[in-house]
């Protein structure tokens, strides 16, 4: 399975269940791995003192608990799962658990969009449970973390806010760090447009990644970003007569490049 990844959610810390604490108090040898070559049905509870491999699905209202090992579901994980050890992990081909606990930390689906429906690995983290979604479109390890996506969103919001400030109040914003008299307001606003565009890249990439576009996420973000550049520069050209030709030329170039990228992306998906 080829994989690139995006960690899609972090849960909140929770106390380990009494059953897990009781097991951790003693340290007998770990039991051999338990292989279940069928689906764990609704209402069924499976508990094992070692690794658990389910070659099937875990249905809603079904539950699997590994008190001293990992849980791997070679199918759809729709029910409850718990791996008690802090260094354990939970893997599933289709990760949509009703409830998931690792090492005392808990992650629960809050909205439908959190249900990945794709291969994923869950591990305990400092702030809860990190679920790493494996994208089949790209090769590599599952390595893009929730913190990376969060950082990208914050960076995009910051750059976008700066860009909007430059568009609305170019002289006042630019003069915070520079001498606004050194450059015309038209080109300050162009810089604002670019800032908003870069912000869109930072915000759009993790959002598209969550929707399953994988390596295409950045490229799709550039299509929207360059379309915004075209529209913004055309609006600026209507008010800035001295720079009208240059603004329109830049806008058209961005519109054409966005169109070419969009067609290339759609052709790629049609071939799949």
What is the reported pTM?
0.44
Residues 128 and 153 in one domain: no
Q: What is the mean pLDDT of the chain?
A: 77
Q: Which domain holds residue 255?
A: 146-271
Residues 152 and 112 in one domain: no
Name the phi and psi angles at 236, rounded to 5. -60, -40
Residue 199 has pLDDT above 60, yes or no: yes
pLDDT at 119: 84
Instruction: Read off the tokens for 134.
Output: 């494996």
Number of structural domains, the chain? 2
Total number of residues shown for the chain? 272
Instruction: Read off the tokens for 203.
Output: 């915000």
Residues 105 and 169 in one domain: no
Residues 177 and 245 in one domain: yes
- Bigger pLDDT: 152 vs 196: 196
- Bigger pLDDT: 57 vs 110: 57
Least confident residue range of 139-148, 193-202, 230-239: 139-148
Residues 129 and 186 in one domain: no
pLDDT (mean) for 133-143: 50
Residue at 140 is within a domain: no
pLDDT at 38: 92
pLDDT-derived band of residue 146, with 50, 70 and 90 as boundaries? Answer: low
How many Cβ atoms from other residues are within 10 Å of residue 115's Cβ?
15
pLDDT digits over 11-68, tens only?
A: 444 455 566 555 555 567 888 999 999 999 999 999 999 999 999 999 989 999 999 9
pLDDT at 36: 93
pLDDT at 248: 86
Residues 248-252: contacts with CB under 8 Å, at least 24 apart? 250/190
Task: Give the closest residue to 133 by CA, choosing from 105, 79, 92.
Answer: 92
Residues 122 and 159 in one domain: no
């Amino acid at each position: 399975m080829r994989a690139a990844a995006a960690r899609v959610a972090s849960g909140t810390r929770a106390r380990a269940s009494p059953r897990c604490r009781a097991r951790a108090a003693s340290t007998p040898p770990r039991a051999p791995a338990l292989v279940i070559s069928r689906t764990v049905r609704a209402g069924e509870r499976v508990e094992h003192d070692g690794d658990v491999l389910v070659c099937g699905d875990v249905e809603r209202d079904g539950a699997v608990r590994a008190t001293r090992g990992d849980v791997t579901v070679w199918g759809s994980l729709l029910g409850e799962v718990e791996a008690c050890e802090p260094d354990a992990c939970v893997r599933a081909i289709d990760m949509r658990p009703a409830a998931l606990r690792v090492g005392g930390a808990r992650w629960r689906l809050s909205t439908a969009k959190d249900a990945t429906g794709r291969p994923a690995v869950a591990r305990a983290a400092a702030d809860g449970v990190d679920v790493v979604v494996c994208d089949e479109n790209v090769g590599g390890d599952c390595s893009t973390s929730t913190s990376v996506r969060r950082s990208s969103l914050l960076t995009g919001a910051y750059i976008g806010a700066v860009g909007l400030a430059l568009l609305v109040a170019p002289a006042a914003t630019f003069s915070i760090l520079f001498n606004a008299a050194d450059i015309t307001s038209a080109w300050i606003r162009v810089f604002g447009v670019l800032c908003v565009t870069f912000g869109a890249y930072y915000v759009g990439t993790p959002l598209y990644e969550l929707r399953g576009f994988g390596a295409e996420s950045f490229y799709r973000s550039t299509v929207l970003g360059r379309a915004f550049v075209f529209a913004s520069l055309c609006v600026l050209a209507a008010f800035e007569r001295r720079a009208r030709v240059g603004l329109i030329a830049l806008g058209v170039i961005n519109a054409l490049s966005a169109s070419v990228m969009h067609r290339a992306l759609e052709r790629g998906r049609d071939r799949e």
